[in-house]
Amino acid sequence: MQTTVSPIAYHGRRRNSFWLLGCFIAGLPLSAMADERIGQIKTETGTVTIVQAGKTRPAQVGGPVFKSDTVITAGHSSVGITFADNSLMALGPFSRLSLDQFRFNTTTHDGAFDVSLKKGTLAIKSGQIVKQTPEAMRVRTPVAVLGVRGTEFVVRADGTES
């Protein structure tokens, strides 16, 4: 019995294989491929690291951030991130921010954006998600949950969680 593979099925498998090979060559961990890219690093000073699925990588200008990443800054360090909905976030020294949820429809601008500031300082300029649905962005701190209704604000958390 002979098995035939339709050109469409073969092409799909071949494309997936090349995509996986490309990610392997680029050095991306498989966990990064599974998560959705939600933004990129725009500015970085000092020591900034990103933790994803227990693995740490240095943040680099132009590099991606993925849903479920944790961004960490050391002393005398800061990072600026632009997200897919044009939200802007800046972390100051000794900060730790978890990107808990990011969902954004580029057509309707509908979505949800949740982050957790474990410690440090965070400045936010909200993007299209909040313009479409004002209650769609939340910032959790060790003692409060902030519902973002405006467009710009700064929050500080003196948490001891590392």
- How is the chain split into domains, by residue range? 1-34, 36-157
Q: Is the pTM of this model over 0.85?
A: no
Cβ atoms 105, 128 nearer than 8 A = no
φ and ψ of 11, to 5 deg: -60, -40
| Statement: residue 151 has pLDDT above 80 | no
Cβ atoms 93, 122 nearer than 8 A = no
**What's the pLDDT at 149?**
67
* Cβ-based neighbours of 61, under 8 Å, separated by 6 or more: 41, 42, 43, 44
The 10s digit of each residue's pLDDT in 24-41 is 444 444 444 457 899 999
The 10s digit of each residue's pLDDT in 81-91 is 999 999 999 99
